[in-house]
């Protein structure tokens, strides 16, 4: 959105408070995955960036082992 700053600032603003949660969007597969509690904590450092997530996928949810910059 206009005036929200860079990708990281915008993402952090959107996840602030209430029920805002980080998700992983696979643009190629056109799928959005929710992250478990551990993933939520790890994702904050990579807000708005392309990442590589390691973990276990179950449906459209990921139990995150690690997140690193892509």
Q: Which two tokens stand for residue 24?
A: 């992983």
Residue 49 pLDDT greater than 80, yes or no: yes
pLDDT of residue 16: 81
Helices and strands: H and E segment counts in the chain: 2, 4
Rounded to 5°, angle at Cα 60 from 58 and 66? 70
φ, ψ for residue 33, nearest 5 deg: -110, 140
Residue 1 pLDDT greater than 60, yes or no: no
Residue 64 pLDDT greater than 70, yes or no: yes
pLDDT of residue 3: 61
pLDDT of residue 20: 80
- Please state the separation of Cα 17 from the chain's center in Å: 15
- Please state the separation of Cα 6 from the chain's center in Å: 16
Determine contact, residues 51/67, Cβ cutoff 8 Å.
yes
Model confidence pLDDT, tens digit, residues 11-47: 888 888 667 898 998 888 899 999 999 999 999 899 9
């Amino acid at each position: 959105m206009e005036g929200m700053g860079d990708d990281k600032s915008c993402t952090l603003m959107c996840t602030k408070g209430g029920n805002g949660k980080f998700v992983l969007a696979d643009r190629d597969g056109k799928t959005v995955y929710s992250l478990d509690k551990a993933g939520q904590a790890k994702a904050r450092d990579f807000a708005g960036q392309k990442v590589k997530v390691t973990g276990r996928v179950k449906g459209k949810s990921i139990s995150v082992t690690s997140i690193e910059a892509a």
